[in-house]
A and B are shown apart, each in its own frame.
Chain A
Amino acid sequence: MNPSGPLPIPDAEVQAYVDGQLAPDRLATLEAAVASDTALASRVAEMRALNAALRDALDPVLAEPIPQQLLAAAMFPGARAAGLRRWLGPAFAVAATLVVGVGIGWFGRDALIERAGTPTTFARQAAFAHALYATDVNRPVEVWANEEKRLVTWLTKRLGFQVHAPDLNGVGYALVGGRLVAGNEKPTALFMYENADKQRLSLQVRKQAAGSGETAFRYAVENGVGVFYWIDDACGYAISGNVDRAQLLKIAHVVYGQLAAAETATPK
């Protein structure tokens, strides 16, 4: 450094300059020093590159979906027991969950939960999958209903437990077919139904963690699409659609009755 030149820049100021934290009144001095001192300039460039590399290396963690237990921990502890049951329990604490979706819909509410990536509750994932596939006129399913036996066998094998496609002809809906859908942790089975007006239902099943012993029906509306879902110790079920609540509940009862009967017939 030229002894007659400006004073050397303190290390703390170089750090602050690199980190964008330098006091504004020192900025001009630093910039002049960097412009005239190639060694300082390359030191600053190296430190900036290191900052950028550290962020590149660590930023991907931010894009990971938030685990359920951390969302639960972000809930006011006093409200947690009720809140968990209401919001997270149905998606988490059941052995298998089944959803029937009707119509097309999105889920605008609770953007806070889905903003980390995939929607985290099963009801929303099911609505998402339904909106995606029910609108697909030509290819809503991977395996069509004329191969129902193969479909059920395949999904049973992929999910690791016996699944059933309920017969909804009694309420005016015929099986279209089914497909496998990616879930948060486990794969999900989707059965698609259609009525004479070409309105579609989708029915989704997946295996969950531990059973919770709940059976209550729950109803939610996601942007005009009603969602019914319920849970028992082995399975959870849900129906969503833009048909009215009473009709949805009727379909839900049919599905519930058939699956309960099927479960009794095939002990696990």
Chain B
Amino acid sequence: MRIRPRLLRSDLVTPPAATDAPGLPHPDLVAAIPRLRRYARVLTGDASRADDLVQDTLARAWEKRRLWRTGSDLRAWLFTIMHNVHVNQLALARRDAANVSIDADPGNAAWQLPVRANQLDRVELLELVELIGRLSADQREVLLLAAVEELRYDEIASVLAVPIGTVMSRLSRARAKLQRLIAEPASPLRVVK
């Protein structure tokens, strides 16, 4: 089975040569792992929980491998699985610990993201990552999928199982809120250059 994910301009990795040897990691899944890890890191805010989520997602993908289709965007499909696994895990966690909100963890310093200095300096990027954590989970997902993963809006709608109008309104609110947080006097990110 060979699935060729749509390449986007921010793709940092080139797809590996297709190898269908059964004893090897599937090249298309391996190619998707860095982006799944990144998305999971933002969803969970924690590197090791994020990798657990990626692992669960890959396991689920194998269970549902009959749904892989040539020409479909494997990456968007994997994001869909990850979203569902994460939502289910949150529901379970809430049931197990009704008084502890998993998402209410704003400004968590344990984002554990490596940071590269570029447009903003290191501190500013760390701060930005913290501010992302203060968005609602819904806003965070839409913003990440659109701005960072560069998925098409219709793909995002399909990943999150919401109408495309909901994607657009969440995206708009996410951007407005993030810009408001950046503009707050407490934020060192007064202006995003």
Contact = CB atoms under 8 A, between A and B. Distances in A.
A97 to B, nearest CB: 20
Interface stretch (B29-37, B82-90, B102-110): B29-37
Contacts of A50: 147, 175, 178-179, 192
A58 B129 contact: yes
Contact of B25 (A53, A56, A71, A78): A71
A246 interface: no
A68 to B, nearest CB: 10
B41 interface: yes
Contacts of B179: 46, 50
Interface in A15-70: 15-16, 19-21, 46-47, 49-64, 66-67, 69-70
B186 interface: no
A76 B147 contact: no
Contacts of A11: 168, 172
Interface stretch (A112-120, A153-161, A174-182, A203-211): A112-120
Contacts of B30: 66, 71, 74, 112-113
A43 to B, nearest CB: 9
B16 A111 contact: yes
B146 A19 contact: yes
Contact of A56 (B31, B42, B125): B125
A112 B114 contact: no
B147 A74 contact: no
A72 interface: yes
Contact of A61 (B23, B113, B120, B171): B113
Give chain B's interface secondary structure class. Answer: helix
Q: Which of B33, B128, B129 has the most CB of A within 10 A?
A: B33
B92 interface: no
A62 B35 contact: yes
B96 to A, nearest CB: 24
A245 B121 CA distance: 53
A137 interface: no
Interface string B108-135: 0000011110111000011011001000
A82 interface: yes
B158 interface: no
Given A61-B114, A67-B51, A73 B175 contact: no
A69 B148 CA distance: 25
A15 B115 CA distance: 26
B37 to A, nearest CB: 6
9 contacts: A19-B147, A53-B192, A61-B38, A66-B34, A70-B54, A71-B30, A74-B25, A111-B16, A112-B19
Interface of A: 11-12, 15-16, 19-21, 46-47, 49-64, 66-67, 69-79, 82-83, 86-87, 110-113, 115-116
